[in-house]
Structure 1
Amino acid sequence: MDQLISEYASTSEDSDDQAILKRSKQDKASTQITKRPKIDLAPEVNLADQRLSDAVYTRPTDTEITFNIPYEDLSQPVTGPSNPFSTRVMNQNVLTGHVEEQSYSEIAFKTQQRTFASFGYARDPTLLENVTGGSEFVGDVQRAIEMNGATIYDPVPKKNGPARLPKGDPAVLEGANAYQGPWAGYHGESIGTPVGPPEGAIRTRAEPAQQSKNQVEVGQETTTFHGQSEYDYQGRTYMHVPLDLDVNLLSEPGTQECFIPKRCIHTWSGHTKGVSAIRLFPNSAHLLLSCSLDSKIKIWDVYHDRRCLRTYIGHNKAVRDVCFSRDGRRFLSASYDKYIKLWDTETGQCIKAFTTGKLPYVVKFNPDEDKQNIFLAGCSDKKIVQFDINTGEVTQEYDQHLGAVNTITFVDENRRFVTTSDDKTLRAWEFDIPVVIKYIAEPHMHSMPAVTLHPNKKWLACQSLDNQIVVYGAKDRFRLHRKKRFTGHLVAGYACQVNFSPDGRFIMSGDSEGNMCYWDWKTCKLLKKYKTHEMVVIGCEWHPHETSKVVTCSWDGLIKLWD
């Protein structure tokens, strides 16, 4: 029995060993026949710059970094996936579209900017070669090649200038070969040669200067009436408010709803040069006063024949500003001949002339009925001067500004007034007290050469020279209203007047391209913009009783009526 078991076991083990040996031989044969290629999933990469493999990349939106980053890595460009063939519309992050962020350090930009201002060329910021010139510079490429692309921080090749004079012999003190040393000049210099007008051309003090034929002295002012008769059949002049119209010119302004005008219905052309300011007659607005760069002032009829009624001639240079009195019977004119003159509106007589020896930029009557003998003038010597018409003397000076005064606006029931200046500040004053009660000067502020009070007497609209209209409160605090900001026009460099509709719903302004812009006061949305003049629209007035009539003036010498 044991023998049978042992034989059985040995027989089975032998057969298993043979099967395993046979299977191994078959596997070896198969591996020799089919060889698989070796695949390396992580090939070796030879980097040109070993620092790139050690750089630590961060996201531009990170606000905290928990480890120290080298300066070179901080100035690395912003990288990331980009798909130029994407059809998805990009978000508009500027007014004209989408601006992509570029890697251009501040010091590199300042260097190229100053290089362009000094030498006239700079490196192309796109870092791409131009198709036509094939140069990496913009501006004066020829000079860039001559200077080998040097910036303001690089040594500039010296030019071959005039030859230096010989230093002379140290032993000779005077004469032809005298010692000059380091003080020797250059050939062609004119140092020591007297200069000036030739003899005989200098006018002696006793000889009087010849007066120009058009020169107007104080007291020699003239006026011209252009109508057929100064009086009508009832003995009334053009100062009388017409009653034969469809509109009531004696009503309260702002009681009717206003609308934006659409077309020009009349053009006044009488000035030979640009018109600098226009003013409608107080309360009734049936007359229009204009001053021009041709040194003349004219008054026009807004209704009936719409012609020029009278011309006031009394200034030697361009007239900058005009201002009616409360009843309109008199007006002030400020000119570049340094004179402020008071005129009678009806007769054209010059009543008085005032001057401080400085240029008056703005004049303003005190709106109070019992103070119509007082007016303020902002001058080029940084002062606001207060005149008394009865005595002709200066009764007060407000001297706090650091630049020429541009505007004067009365607020708070005429107890205070606000002034703006070229020093980019806004200051509020108590009337007749030369102390500033509010001083506003921010780094982001620009000069504001035109200011208008809202019909509700609560807000001041200021034309800022960074192409926007900003709004300040007209009450005690005079704070900036950050939600009121009107943009869409170009006024940089021009004192374009701002104005409101009588009901306060719209605000309007001209711009430097001859356009008129109208915004909604509540939403600050630009409602309409259209071409009105060929040159800058410097002034605009909304008729107080008409719902959609606006008068504009421009430096093209024209005054237009829109409806």
Structure 2
Amino acid sequence: MLKTSIVGNSFNRYQLSFVFESVCERHIITRMELLQSYDVSSGESEEDNENVNNNKLKCEAEMKKGNVQEIQKDTNYFGIEHNSSYSDDSSCDGSNNKDGELEIGGLRVEIPDSDFWRELKAEDVKQIKSDASKILSHLPLEKSESSPAKWKQVGLNKNSQTVREQSSKETKLDYSSKSNETVSLQRKIFYIHSKIQPKMHTLSSNFPPEKLDRHIDAHGGVVNRVKWNVPSFSHLFLSTSMDSCVKIWNAFSAESACVRNLMHHGKAVKDAEWSHDGRSILSCSYDRSAVVTDVETGKQVCKLEHAGYVTCGKFNPVRRSQVVTGSTNSLQHWDIRTPHTACKNFQYHDDLGQMQDVLFTKDGNQFFSCSDMVTRDSADRNVMAWDFSSGVPLSNQIYQERYACVRLKLHPTSSHFLAQSHGRYVAIFSTSRPYKMVRSKRFEGHTLLGYSIGFDVSRDGSLVVSGSSDGRIHFYDYQTGKLKKQLTSGLDVCMDVMCHPVLASTVVCCSWDGGIRIFH
């Protein structure tokens, strides 16, 4: 087949190098498995030397007699079945013996005995040998364990595909480069965990957890926020810290819990938020920027530059490319597709102070903000309602007490939102006009002492969970407002706490000293 296709098309002899490359890929490499070992210094084994010497003696004898005899090959390297005999002018002229052998890295492979290959001239064979050397010379050589003077060809399987064999030492060092520079470990991050999948579509009653499940020494500084991912990927949660890092954790991993360490900020990271698909995050930092990062690749998608410290940010729940960030005396609307300039600045006739949190309603048409402004006449700026499209403030008389609010949460089942106040309680407000505070019920008993303590509401809305400056976690009944349980976390200051979006009675909390704990 090979001879007919080439001769019939009158190919040039020097074009045979291309043919030989294809033949090498199909046949030569698989036949190399038959060569178990050979000597480095001589390039061939003792058995090969004996075979070559015998072939030379036999050829010389044939040439002296002048008789051409049919020589059968024991090994058909190229996979070409043939029973052809040598011609008078090519029986032992070197093209089928010395010049007809390829020597690559000390390994010799003979050109097969066929009419097609016997017709090649010496120049053609040399050209083919040089082209084949380029193909095969890069194949890795591994030192044989049996003898230091023996070497074996590795990376060859039955399908002629190059596969490198790794030793156990190479496997351990697979994640570092030759210059010992650390390369991030590429692990599968986004999948539905076996613990999550059976309970994604069921709503279980939540109770305070009973025991510690995991303790993580997460950061070298204060951990400001911890947040679970969306329900589909809720085996993941993020943490932000004063050490300028945002870390992504796998809560149920038997390996290292940290799956990503994102270093896109130059100063402390105050807040971070998962996107709607759970594959990217918005992080807000004291380096006057907010960064959108692709978690799977760890690369920065866009950077939103601000004039002041960026301390909070949220994605619009409906318009998924729209973002609202809170900075010093300003709230800004951004589109991450055009990150160079803000789409809108939300204006107010007086200073707003340092924004602490932003919260959208479910339809995305309105949002609420809270700040740390505390003065004699600052009650109109503690909690404010805004129209997202027009940027007009809808109400500035929501919270009349002179305490700063540091966190806002939307209740999952009722038309209310909650705010963490420095008055040592969590207050309840209506999400519809006139946005009045529910004075008949509040959740009090924990302490803040000036810390920006976070809180959360369980998936079914039955529990309100808050951190505390004394290191405890407080669980309140939403219907009655009474304290159900105080859980000792073992942390110095419980800075933030969040309920799992799928698993009942599972919470994660973080501390002032950089630790993270998971309870269930």
TM-score bracket, shorter-length normalisation:
0.5 to 0.7
Decide which structure has the larger Cα Rg and report it: 1
From 231, 235, 253, the equivalent of 1:304 is 253
- What CA deviation, in whole Å up to 9, does each residue of 1:125-167 have, x standing for no partner? xxxxxxxxxxxxxxxxxxxxxxxxxxxxxxxxxxxxxxxxxxx
From 405, 409, 421, the equivalent of 1:448 is 405
Q: 1: CA distance between counterparts of 2:204 and 2:471?
A: 29
Partner residue in 1 for 2:18: none
Partner residue in 2 for 1:241: 192
Deviation at 1:476, TM superposition (A): 2.2
Matched, 1:527 2:484: yes
Deviation at 1:269, TM superposition (A): 1.4
1:338 partner letter: R
Deviation at 1:394, TM superposition (A): 0.6
Partner residue in 1 for 2:459: 502
Runs of 4+ in 1 over 4 A off after TM superposition: 223-227
Change (3 A) 1:430 1:457: farther
Deviation at 1:514, TM superposition (A): 0.8
Where in structure 2 are there 5+ consecutive unaligned residues? 1-180, 374-378
Residues 322-471 of structure 1 correspond to what in structure 2 (within 5 A)? 322-368=272-318, 371-380=319-328, 382-392=329-339, 393-400=341-348, 402-423=352-373, 424=379, 425-440=382-397, 444-471=401-428
Q: 2: CA distance between counterparts of 1:554 and 1:457?
A: 30
Deviation at 1:265, TM superposition (A): 1.0
Secondary structure of the structure 2 residue equivalent to 1:332: strand
- What CA deviation, in whole Å up to 9, does each residue of 1:75-95 have, x standing for no partner? xxxxxxxxxxxxxxxxxxxxx
Contact 1:533 1:554 in 2 (8 A): no
From 165, 187, 205, the equivalent of 1:257 is 205
- What CA deviation, in whole Å up to 9, does each residue of 1:392-415 have, x standing for no partner? 121011122531211111115221
Partner residue in 2 for 1:89: none
Change (3 A) 1:477 1:384: same
2:515 partner letter: L
Deviation at 1:331, TM superposition (A): 0.8
Secondary structure of the structure 2 residue equivalent to 1:479: coil
Deviation at 1:361, TM superposition (A): 0.9
Q: 1: CA distance between counterparts of 2:452 and 2:258?
A: 26
Deviation at 1:308, TM superposition (A): 0.8
TM-score normalised over the length of structure 1: 0.56
- What CA deviation, in whole Å up to 9, does each residue of 1:503-541 have, x standing for no partner? 111101001111110111111111111321432211111
Q: 1: CA distance between counterparts of 2:398 and 2:506?
A: 36
Where in structure 1 are there 5+ consecutive unaligned residues? 1-222, 231-236
Deviation at 1:497, TM superposition (A): 1.2
Partner residue in 2 for 1:290: 239
Q: 2: CA distance between counterparts of 1:545 and 1:339?
A: 32
- What CA deviation, in whole Å up to 9, does each residue of 1:278-329 have, x standing for no partner? 1111123111111111111111112232611111112111111111110011
2:429 partner letter: Y
Percent identical among aligned pairs is 28
Q: 1: CA distance between counterparts of 2:212 and 2:184?
A: 24
Contact 2:228 2:501 in 1 (8 A): no
Partner residue in 1 for 2:82: none
Aligned residues: 328
Contact 1:293 1:318 in 2 (8 A): yes
TM-score normalised over the length of structure 2: 0.61
Partner residue in 1 for 2:432: 475
Contact 1:225 1:309 in 2 (8 A): no
Q: 2: CA distance between counterparts of 1:273 and 1:545?
A: 29
